Amino acid sequence: MKTLQQIVDESERIVFFGGAGVSTESGIPDFRSEDGLYRQKYTVSPETMLSHDYFFSHTEEFFAFYREKMLPLWAEPNAAHKKIAELEKRGKLIAVVTQNIDGLHQKAGSKTVFELHGTVHKNTCVKCRKSYSAEEIAASKGIPRCSCGGLVKPDVVLYGEPLDSETVNGAVRAIASADTLIVAGTSLTVYPAAGFVSYFRGKYLVLINRDPTPLDGACDLVLHGKVGEILSEIQL
Ligand code: APR
């Protein structure tokens, strides 16, 4: 912890790269832990249900799963989201790059957030491009339809879909210009997101994760524990 404090004190261009483990302390299960979403028993695997093809071939079933498991609109930012927003406010953190779609970083006050896998808070009609909120999707029944009659699709990157190129460019530029990269709450198993860490050229690579990851051996500092608890100990 002392080393993390020294690194944060010394850094002026921190980038925070996070995954589902950053939101578990807000009550949102992650994917691959014991109690993760992908460990729960379904006739069709969640990875299949969250795919591009399944969305268009089983739209009704997609939205039943999506409303039940992917719309935790009750969740509040936890200590990790708050400390990260504070670091940005103090001019020490230049960007958040997240694989999460829950919008909790912005809810905590973070301004520069690159959402590699999109967000539940934007939903677009495939026909006329009209936008709808997550609340409207949560309140709708069956397949959400636009006023024009078109199908409304969440702006979430489903398996088999490309990442948004502008988001990718922004995230890569931020990571490449960081002096410290803090990677947290991610198993680093999903590409291309997990590969973004390789753009880092700065001084300190820090990993904060409950379980070991493939990156542990390459880091300057590895803290195995809860990211909310660990970051809340940082004094600013
Ligand atoms: N503090 C620190 N680490 C935590 C915490 C916590 N409170 N809770 C969970 N973790 C760690 C787990 O040990 C695990 O290694 O976070 C990691 C979460 O890994 P995953 O569940 O695989 O989530 P993530 O890495 O974000 O998955 C990447 O997979 O299905 C896709 O699109 C989905 O964005 C997701 C991507």
CATH number assigned to the domain comprising residue 197: 3.40.50.1220
Tell me the residue range of the domain where 170 lies.
1-27+73-117+162-236
Q: Indicate which residue's Cα is closest to atom 26 of ligand 1.
A: 19
Mean pLDDT, the chain, integer: 97
For 28-80, write each residue's pLDDT tens digit: 999 999 999 998 888 899 999 999 999 999 999 999 999 999 999 999 999 99
Q: Residue 111 class from Cβ within 10 Å (0-12 exposed, 13-18 middle, 19+ buried)?
A: exposed
Asked if residue 107 is part of any domain, the answer here is yes
CA distance 103 to 89: 18
Q: Within a domain: residue 143? A: no
Residue 103: inside a domain, yes or no?
A: yes
Q: Does this model's pTM top 0.95?
A: yes
Q: Is residue 181 part of a domain?
A: yes
pLDDT of 76 reads 98
Residue 125 and residue 128: Cα distance in Å, rounded? Answer: 6
- Domain-located, residue 8: yes
| Confidence at residue 173, expressed as pLDDT on a 0 to 100 scale | 98
The reply to whether 224 falls in a domain is: yes
> Average pLDDT of 79-104?
98
Q: Does the annotation mark 81 as catalytic?
A: no
Q: Whose CA is nearest to atom 34 of ligand 1?
A: 99
User: What integer pLDDT is reported at residue 3 of this predicted model?
Assistant: 96
Q: Which residues line ligand 1 (CB under 6 A)?
A: 19-21, 24-25, 30-33, 36, 99, 117, 185-187, 189-190, 209-211, 226-228
Give the total number of structural domains in the chain.
1
- Taking alpha carbons only, the member of 44, 90, 83 closest to residue 64 is 44
- Given this model, what pLDDT does residue 1 score? 87
Is residue 43 within 8 A of residue 55, CB to CB? The reply is no
Under the banding of pLDDT at 50, 70 and 90, the label for residue 143 is very high
Q: How many whole angstroms separate alpha carbon 222 and alpha carbon 204?
A: 11
Name the catalytic one among 81, 105, 117, 121.
117
Residue 125 and residue 92 in contact, taking contact as beta carbons nearer than 8 Å: no
From 23, 25, 32, the mutation candidate for ligand 1 (largest count of ligand atoms within 8 A of CB) is 32
The encoded tokens of residue 153 equal: 């699709």
* pLDDT at residue 210, rounded to an integer: 97
Q: Which residue has the CA at smallest separation from atom 5 of ligand 1?
A: 21
Q: Which atom of ligand 1 is nearest to the CA of 50?
A: 30
